[in-house]
Chain A
Amino acid sequence: DQQVKQNSPSLSVQEGRISILNCDYTNSMFDYFLWYKKYPAEGPTFLISISSIKDKNEDGRFTVFLNKSAKHLSLHIVPSQPGDSAVYFCAASSPYSGAGSYQLTFGKGTKLSVIP
């Protein structure tokens, strides 16, 4: 049972336009959400996070929106740049995971291609 879902395996966007990556979750115990960016042959790089007590968090070109009632979050990248081309993973954690681990549950990722 996939608790974090990224339903779009891929997304293509023109340089300078907005990229919107979506993520849905099913576990209502999740209270913290993160986005990671991954280039081939590298580990995931932390991008931005949001606590469930907020509905928006912004960092430069990256904004994450959280809709708790819909169990949905999205990552907006404005403006998109060719260097943003990578796989983006949505992740969630719960304070009730085993031994207080705050382990992350990941979606399968969305491959973003920004076309020059």
Chain B
Amino acid sequence: GAGVSQSPSNKVTEKGKDVELRCDPISGHTALYWYRQSLGQGLEFLIYFQGNSAPDKSGLPSDRFSAERTGGSVSTLTIQRTQQEDSAVYLCAVRGQGAREQFFGPGTRLTVL
């Protein structure tokens, strides 16, 4: 939706390994979000980027999680030393200027064995 792509679509990794997830929105959306959906749960906010402002990292569950957004476009979410509880679908969303609606990408399903 709204031209947000995410890669990879699926990622299987071993406990303790690092993973990097990518979000590639079309240009024009200054606000970008990461959420995750664990099994049977609603979506949980992780981090928010807005232009050149400092990101809102208040939703990151631990210091193993970090994210960056380069050039106001592509964003990567990095999870270090993955744990089994990190298994979830990680979703990227964008919001247009002055709007409240967010539009989501297809997500990355992460499985930590």
Contact = CB atoms under 8 A, between A and B. Distances in A.
A34 B91 CA distance: 17
Contacts of B55: 99
Interface stretch (B12-20, B37-45, B70-78, B79-87): B37-45
Interface residues of B, number: 31
Interface stretch (A61-69, A75-83, A103-111): A103-111
State the main secondary structure of chain A at its contact with B: mixed
A93 B41 CA distance: 18
Interface in B26-70: 31, 33, 35, 40-45, 48, 50, 53-56, 58-59
Contacts of B31: 101-102
B42 A46 contact: no
State the main secondary structure of chain B at its contact with A: strand
Interface residues of A, number: 27
A46 B103 contact: yes
B45 A99 contact: no
A103 B59 CA distance: 10
A43 B41 contact: no
Contact of B101 (A4, A43, A49, A98): A49
